[in-house]
Amino acid sequence: MKNLHNRYASITPYTTKDASQIRELMHPRHHASKNQSLAEAIVHPGKTTTRHCHHQSEELYFILQGEGLMTLGAEQFVVKPQDTVCIPPGTAHCIKNTGDQPLHILCSCSPPYAHEDTELLV
């Protein structure tokens, strides 16, 4: 059986297609979750993720630390700790770290995140 439990310190971060640093906290490829993925994304000060969309996945962002400027479709708004953003499938989005510390985001995707479902919109 795949892991039902995971320790943060054991997770190796990687860079996704949108240029954010990701730690997959739970993902069906490695863990017991089946219908969703959960990851921590880190965007460093002054950096912006590449504008992109996910055609199948609905994504939820929960801001853990830092502050940023969220672009969601045609809207832009400030995000800060304890804010939650819903990103519907097919919606172009990116986030810029506007602060002086790393921006930490908890990201949940359903269906689970997949590189193949990510289209970069440059």
- CATH number of the structural domain spanning residue 115: 2.60.120.10
pTM, two decimal places: 0.92
Evaluate whether residue 16 is within a structural domain: yes
User: How many domains would you assign to the chain?
Assistant: 1
Residue 9 in 3-state DSSP? helix
Classify the C-alpha dihedral 61-15-17-3 as positive or negative: negative
Q: Give a yes or no: residue 2 inside a domain.
A: no
What pLDDT digit, counting tens, does each position of 2-40 carry? Answer: 888 889 999 999 998 888 899 999 998 888 899 999 999
Q: For the ranges 22-31, 69-78, 83-92, 94-103, which has the lowest average pLDDT?
A: 22-31
Look-up: residue for tokens 């590449």?
50
**What is the largest distance, in Å, between two alpha-carbon atoms of the chain?**
43
Per-residue pLDDT, 21: 93
pLDDT score, position 1: 66
Q: Which of 31, 37, 9, 12 is nearest to 118 (CA)?
A: 37
